[in-house]
């Protein structure tokens, strides 16, 4: 198993971070890495996710929503090709640091017999994508925070 984890501190309460992170339909407006998440109708929580890795065309895949614990965690599990070949479990965790600051932890665990070969090619692009998304999330949440303060 290979794990990538990034963290970022956002100057906003955890609930405000959740509001942006959990609104999948707005991802195309701000998220440079996860370009879209669409919930699919059916008996289980299935997602259609599209990601954009540096230097590659957009990649789309289905994932099972595994965690939606408002306002703290969102996670999903994706199987690429065949079960046991290349799998990913992605999770976001929001931790309140104070009433005005939160830490977002983005973590992805990869497993399967094709993991080492796939990550040999893609690890740098994944890391860049996670960092770019974290910075974009921070910018979006803090922008919304300023708009709320102006309206009040």
Domains of the chain and any CATH numbers: 2-151 (3.30.530.20)
- Looking up tokens 């879209």 gives 36
- The three-class DSSP label of residue 34 is strand
pLDDT digits (tens, 9 = 90+) for 111-146: 999 999 999 989 999 999 999 999 999 999 998 766
Q: Which of 6, 17, 7 is nearest to 101 (CA)?
A: 17
Q: Which has more confidence, 1 or 148?
A: 1
pLDDT at 148 over 60: no
pTM: 0.89
Q: Which of 51, 8, 5 is nearest to 141 (CA)?
A: 8
Q: Distances from the Cα of 2 to the Cαs of 73, 89, 92, 113, 137, in angstroms? A: 21, 11, 17, 11, 24
- Looking up tokens 């984890």 gives 5
Integer Cα distance of 10 and 24 in angstroms? 19
pLDDT at 43 over 60: no
Q: Distances from the Cα of 133 to the Cαs of 35, 129, 141, 142, in angstroms? A: 10, 6, 12, 14
**In the chain, what percentage of residues exceed pLDDT 90?**
83
Integer Cα distance of 34 and 58 in angstroms? 10
pLDDT at 33 over 60: yes
């Amino acid at each position: 198993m290979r794990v990538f984890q990034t963290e970022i501190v956002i100057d906003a309460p955890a609930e405000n971070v959740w509001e942006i992170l959990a609104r999948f339909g707005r991802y195309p407006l701000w998220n440079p890495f996860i370009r879209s998440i669409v919930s699919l109708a059916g008996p289980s929580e299935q997602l259609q996710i599209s990601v954009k890795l540096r230097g590659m065309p957009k990649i789309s895949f289905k994932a099972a929503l595994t965690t939606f614990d408002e306002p703290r965690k969102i996670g999903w599990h994706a199987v690429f090709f065949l079960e046991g070949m290349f799998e990913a479990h992605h999770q976001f965790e929001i931790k309140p640091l104070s009433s005005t600051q939160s830490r977002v932890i983005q973590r992805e665990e990869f497993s399967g017999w094709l993991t080492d070969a796939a990550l040999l090619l893609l690890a740098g692009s994944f890391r860049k994508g996670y960092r770019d998304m974290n910075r974009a999330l921070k910018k979006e949440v803090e922008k919304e925070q300023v708009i709320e303060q102006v309206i009040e």
